[in-house]
Amino acid sequence: MNATHSFFAIYISLILLLYIVSIILNKVGINIAKYKLVTILMIGLILIDIFANIYMIVVWCQIIFNKDYYYEYSEPFYGSVVSEELYKNIENVTNYIEEKEQEGKNVIVFSSKAALYMVPLKESNGCYDLPFYGNFGTLDDEDIINDIRQRKNTIILIEKKNDDYIRWQEPEKVMEILENDLIFIGKIEEFNIYIP
């Protein structure tokens, strides 16, 4: 969750809390309207939230309607605001995938970030695009490992493990076995490149 979402969540939660407290106090016979400070606080929080939302919409419009905006209207990520670094990352990895596909190879991005690269290409590798435990259906770890080992003309991108990246839902055992069993052929961005 980024700072903007946190900011809005806190203010909306405070407004809701004050509203609930006012209902409870009214039920027990205390008229909250008599307390001007509470009323002013509620109105102030609502106004801050409204103005912050308006500000964020104006900033978003300035970015999206700028002639230098990086996504075309027809692209899937049109309307999103990403850093220049992330935009270049997506561009580099999708270009690599397209190059390999022109060579007749299938590329699997075995990472929770796969959608960043597969959605712009309008492609999918099924459950491997989001390799979380709950997305494999009836497949167990051995089924996944065997399936990937048997693939021909396939390149697998696995995100490098480092201090910044924690595999919180990816099957750790599968990732480790694949990294040890597959043939390492290179790197692109934050991914190691393997072939079966």
- Verify that 117 and 162 share a domain, yes or no: yes
CA distances from residue 118 to 77, 91, 94, 163, 176 in whole angstroms, order as listed: 12, 11, 8, 25, 23
- Verify that 52 and 16 share a domain, yes or no: yes
Within a domain: 142? yes
- Verify that 23 and 55 share a domain, yes or no: yes
Within a domain: 72? no
- Verify that 50 and 131 share a domain, yes or no: no
Query: What is the predicted pLDDT for the residue at 143?
Result: 76
Instruction: Provide the CA 63 distance to its chain's centre, in angstroms.
Output: 20
CA distances from residue 26 to 12, 13, 15, 44 in whole angstroms, order as listed: 21, 20, 16, 21
Query: What is the predicted pLDDT for the residue at 48?
Result: 82
Instruction: Provide the CA 81 distance to its chain's centre, in angstroms.
Output: 12
Within a domain: 76? no
- Verify that 58 and 88 share a domain, yes or no: no
d(Cα 67, Cα 115) in Å, to the nearest integer? 26
- Verify that 133 and 162 share a domain, yes or no: yes
Pairing of strands 154-159, 183-188: unpaired
Within a domain: 175? yes
Q: How many domains does the chain have?
A: 2
Within a domain: 74? no
The model's pTM is 0.66
- Verify that 31 and 114 share a domain, yes or no: no
- Verify that 127 and 156 share a domain, yes or no: yes
Within a domain: 157? yes
Number of Cα atoms under 13 Å in the Cβ half of residue 40 = 4
- Verify that 173 and 101 share a domain, yes or no: yes
- Verify that 54 and 117 share a domain, yes or no: no
* Encoded tokens for 20: 């609930």
Residues of the domain holding 30? 3-64
Within a domain: 47? yes
Q: What is the pLDDT along the chain (196 residues), one digit of tens a residue?
A: 455 666 667 777 777 777 787 788 778 877 766 777 767 877 787 788 788 878 888 888 887 787 777 777 777 777 777 778 888 999 999 999 999 999 999 898 888 788 888 888 888 777 666 655 555 555 667 777 777 788 888 888 888 876 666 666 677 777 787 888 888 899 999 888 988 8
The closest of 120, 46, 83 to 109, measured between CA atoms, is 120
Map tokens 């997506």 to a residue.
Answer: 90
d(Cα 196, Cα 184) in Å, to the nearest integer? 9
- Verify that 173 and 109 share a domain, yes or no: yes
Query: What is the predicted pLDDT for the residue at 97?
Result: 93
d(Cα 7, Cα 109) in Å, to the nearest integer? 33
Considering just the CA atoms, what is the radius of gyration of the chain in Å?
24
Query: What is the predicted pLDDT for the residue at 68?
Result: 77
